Amino acid sequence: MLAAGGGPSPLWYATRATGVVALVLLTITVALGVAGTARFTSPRWPRVITAGLHRNIALLVVAFVAVHVLTTVLDSFTSISIVSAVIPFSSSYRTLWLGLGTIAFDLLLALAVTSLLRDRLPYRAWRGVHWLAYASWPIALWHGLGTGTDSKLSWLLALDAACVLVVAAATWWRLLLARPGPGRAAAMAATIAVPLATVIFAVAGPLQAGWARRAGTPVALLGESAGAAPGTRSAASVFTGRVTVAHARPGGGEIMTVTAQTTGQPGTDLTIVLRGRPDGTGIDLSSGTVRIGAPGAASYAGPVTLLRGEQLTAALRSPAGQAEKAEMTLVVSGSRASGQLVVQPEGSA
C-alpha cells in the first residue's frame, strides 16, 4: 500500500521555496525601481506608492534571501558552511554557481546596511551601492539555474522566463523614454543580449544530462563509487516528479506511474510503475518495477520487492549485471511525487 508521509527534509523544501519567492520579489523590486527612475506617476498611482512598494518589497527580498541562506547552511545534504554563504566561490559544492548566489546575497546585504545608514552616508555612496544592487537580479537568476536541483521543472522554467520578460519589458519602456544616444542604444542591446545569453546557457547547461558533474558537484554526491546508480549515493538522494494513474481494465485495478528526477545528476530519470487495486489511502501492490537511467541509455532496472506505507524496495540490475538494492521513501500528493532514494550493492549494510 502507498501512503502519504515522510519525504525530503523540510529544509530542502524551505531552501527551494524561499529561493523562488526571493527571485519573484526581486523581479518586482527591479521593475518598480525602473518605474521610479522614469518618475512614473498618475492620479491613481502617485510616485509615493511606487517608492513605498519598491522599498518594502526590497526588504522582503532580503528577509527571504536570509532564510534561504540559513536553510541552505542548516541542511546537511551539501554541507555548505556559513563562511561559504558570505564569501563567494569558497564552497566545494558547485563553486561557480553557488558563488554567484553568494555575490547576490552580499549585494543585497550591502543594500540593506547602507539603506539603514542612509542619513549618515554621502548620497553618492548610497546611490552607488543602490545601483550596484540591481546586478543581484541577473546574478540570482543564473545562480538558480546553475545550482537549483529543480531547474528542469516546466513551471519553474516558465517562472524564470516570466521574470526575464518583466525586467526586459520594464527596461525597454524606460529606455524608450530616454533621450536618443549611444548610451541608450547600448542599454537596449544589453536587454536583448542578457536574456538571449540566459536562454543559451539554460539550453546548453542545466537542461542537459550530466549538468551536475559539469556544474562542480562533488563526486561524493554524484554516487560514482561502488557501482551506485547515476544520480544516487550511499546517503539519501532527493527526487521529485509527476504521477499519472491509468486503469488497467475493468476490474483490473490501477497502474500508477511516477516519473521523477534525482538531485544527484539532473538528466538521470527515475521511473516507478506500480500495479494494484486502490484501497482508499493508496494502492495495494500486486507488482511493480523501478528504472533509473535516462531514456535510451543504459539503466538500472528491476522489480519492486516491498511496498509498505511510504517505504519501497526494489531489486535492480546494473547495466553490467551487478545486483543492486534500491530503497526509497515515496510520497504522493495528488499529481506530484517526491521522496528520497538510496541505491547500493545487494547485501551491503
How high is the pLDDT of residue 271?
Answer: 92
- The rounded distance, in Å, linking the Cα atoms of 311 and 247 is 23
Q: To the nearest whole percent, how much of the chain has pLDDT over 90?
A: 34
How high is the pLDDT of residue 97?
Answer: 94
Question: 74-101, pLDDT tens digit by residue?
Answer: 987 677 889 999 999 998 888 999 999 9
Question: Which residue, among 66, 191, 82, 78, has the nearest Cα to 138 in the 3D structure?
Answer: 191
Q: Which three cell numbers stand for residue 27?
A: 523581479
- The rounded distance, in Å, linking the Cα atoms of 96 and 79 is 16
- This prediction has a pTM of 0.63
Element (H, E) at 10: helix 10-37
Question: 137-185, pLDDT tens digit by residue?
Answer: 999 999 999 987 677 888 999 999 999 999 999 988 888 887 777 777 8
How high is the pLDDT of residue 321?
Answer: 76
Q: Which residues pair with 57 in a beta bridge?
A: none
Backbone φ, ψ for residue 330 (5° rounding): -120, 120
Q: Which three cell numbers stand for residue 218?
A: 562533488
Outline where DSSP puts E strands in the chain.
237-247, 254-262, 269-278, 283-292, 300-308, 311-317, 323-333, 336-345
Exposed (0-12), middle (13-18) or buried (19+): which is 19, by Cβ within 10 Å? Answer: buried
- Judged against a pLDDT cut of 70, whether residue 131 lies above it is answered with yes
- Sketch the domain layout of the chain as residue ranges: 10-148+153-205, 219-345
- Judged against a pLDDT cut of 60, whether residue 252 lies above it is answered with yes
How high is the pLDDT of residue 175?
Answer: 84
User: Please, which residues have CB within 8 angstroms of residue 218's CB and are 6 or more apart in sequence?
Assistant: 92, 93
Neighbour-count burial for 124-137, b at 16+ CB within 10 Å, e otherwise: eebeebbeebbebb
Residue 37 CB neighbours (<10 A) = 12
Q: For residues 171 and 32, is the Cβ–Cβ distance under 8 A?
A: no
Question: 287-338, pLDDT tens digit by residue?
Answer: 999 998 866 666 788 999 999 888 899 999 877 777 888 889 888 888 888 8
User: Please, which residues have CB within 8 angstroms of residue 98's CB and are 6 or more apart in sequence?
Assistant: 80, 84, 89, 91, 143, 147
Q: Which three cell numbers stand for residue 167?
A: 525586467
* Dihedral in degrees, nearest 10, Cα atoms 111, 113, 114, 116: 120
Residue range 186-210: average pLDDT?
88
- Judged against a pLDDT cut of 60, whether residue 266 lies above it is answered with no
How high is the pLDDT of residue 250?
Answer: 62
- The rounded distance, in Å, linking the Cα atoms of 98 and 59 is 22
Query: If you ran DSSP here, which 8-state letter would residue 88 be given?
Result: T
How high is the pLDDT of residue 35?
Answer: 80
Average pLDDT for the chain: 82
